[in-house]
Structure formats: structure tokens, C-alpha cells
């Protein structure tokens, strides 16, 4: 019998950090351009130093020309829209990749944690019955299946085991029917008696 795993604080902290990063990205996305630039300046960053798309294209073209002159294959140049790239998009893309990586590696554990399930080792994948009544009901289910397959001895043994655990379940209709089937099968197997009947 295995015990449930203890909560992993590192995994929980990673989840908290991811949620906080998502909240920050959502907050930054809602800022106007003026507010965004004001925040960048407050953090010691100059918004004017963020290169424009035209500047990035010019640098790429310059590098491609230098490569052609040196005999190396030119690097592919991707045409970008002539618009300043906002750092918010870089942050959002990075966060999306981080979340995707966490979901791919820890998705099952996160879902189980939200559902309240405990994560157990692979050899303990079935849930175990908790109360004596549940144990007896599971045994009775197996016994009824055995009776349907004509395994009368096994069926009777399991019904007796269930009666020892939970005597109240013996009055169920399916149990009574199984007991009658067992008794009639025993009578059929015994056949007619060779002994003369006593007067």
C-alpha cells in the first residue's frame, strides 16, 4: 500500500510564478502607449532606444551584404511590417512559451491538483474502496459476474466473504438470485438419488 505523495513546494511555486507573470502581462497589455513609456522610464529604460522595424531590416540587410562579400551564404531576411515592435509582444510570447512548456511537462499534475486528486505511483492507479460496505459491494459484483459465467463455487465463496464483511447486503435481490442459482446448480449436479425414499 502506498501513501499519497507529499505536496511539492517547488512545483506549486512554479505555478504561482506563472499565474503572476500572466497577470503582469495582462496588466501591461491594457496600458496605453503613453503609460507604457512612462513605466519604462520609471524602470530606467529609454523607449526611444528600442529599435524600429526599419532599423532592424537595415541591420539585417547590412549583415547580408557583408556575408556576400566574405563568401558565406546570406542569411534569410524576413520582411517585417514598418511599425515599432512593442516589448509587450516579446513578453507575451515568452510567457506563452513558458506556460506551454509547463503544461507539456506538468499538465497532468496541475489538473490533478486542481481537481483535488492525489497523484500516486503508476502501480496504484485504481482507487481503493474505503468503507467495509464498498469492499463488500465490490466483492458481490465479482460474485454475480462469476455466477453469470457458471463459476458456482467461486461465486458462493465470494458471496460468503462479502456476507462476513457486510451482512446487511445479503438481503439484496441480486445476492438472493445468485444464491438461488447456486442452490439449483447443486441440485442439478447431484441428479436423482439412488436411495429409496423412506415411507
Of 65, 85, 83, 82, residue with least CA distance to 74: 65
- In whole angstroms, give the CA distance from residue 21 to residue 43: 17
Q: pLDDT tens, 41-87? A: 888 777 777 666 777 788 888 888 887 776 665 555 555 454 555 67
Decide if 163 contacts 128 (C-beta within 8 A): no
Q: Is the pTM of this model over 0.85?
A: no
> Which ranges in 51-190 belong to alpha helices (H)?
53-70, 87-115, 132-148, 152-165, 173-190
What does the pLDDT look like over 139-174, one tens digit per residue?
A: 999 999 998 998 888 899 999 999 998 888 888 999
> In whole angstroms, what is the distance from residue 109 CA to residue 17 CA?
16
- The residue assigned the cell 563568401 is 71
Amino acid at each position: 500500500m502506498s501513501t499519497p505523495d507529499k505536496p511539492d513546494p517547488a512545483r506549486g511555486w512554479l505555478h504561482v510564478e506563472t499565474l503572476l507573470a500572466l497577470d503582469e502581462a495582462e496588466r501591461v497589455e491594457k496600458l496605453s502607449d503613453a503609460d507604457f513609456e512612462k513605466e519604462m522610464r520609471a524602470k530606467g529604460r529609454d523607449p526611444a532606444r528600442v529599435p524600429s522595424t526599419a532599423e532592424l531590416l537595415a541591420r539585417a540587410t547590412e549583415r547580408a551584404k557583408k556575408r556576400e562579400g566574405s563568401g558565406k551564404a546570406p542569411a534569410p531576411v524576413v520582411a517585417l511590417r514598418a511599425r515599432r515592435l512593442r516589448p509587450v509582444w516579446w513578453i507575451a510570447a515568452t510567457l506563452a512559451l513558458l506556460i506551454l512548456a509547463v503544461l507539456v511537462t506538468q499538465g497532468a499534475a496541475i489538473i490533478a491538483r486542481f481537481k483535488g486528486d492525489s497523484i500516486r505511483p503508476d502501480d496504484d492507479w485504481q482507487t481503493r474502496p474505503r468503507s467495509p460496505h464498498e469492499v463488500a459491494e465490490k466483492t458481490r459484483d465479482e460474485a454475480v459476474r462469476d455466477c453469470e459465467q457458471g463459476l458456482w463455487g467461486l461465486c458462493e465463496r465470494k458471496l460468503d466473504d462479502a456476507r462476513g464483511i457486510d451482512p446487511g447486503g445479503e438481503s439484496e435481490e441480486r445476492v438472493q438470485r445468485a444464491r438461488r442459482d447456486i442452490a439449483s446448480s447443486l441440485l442439478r449436479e447431484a441428479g436423482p438419488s439412488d436411495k429409496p425414499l423412506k415411507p
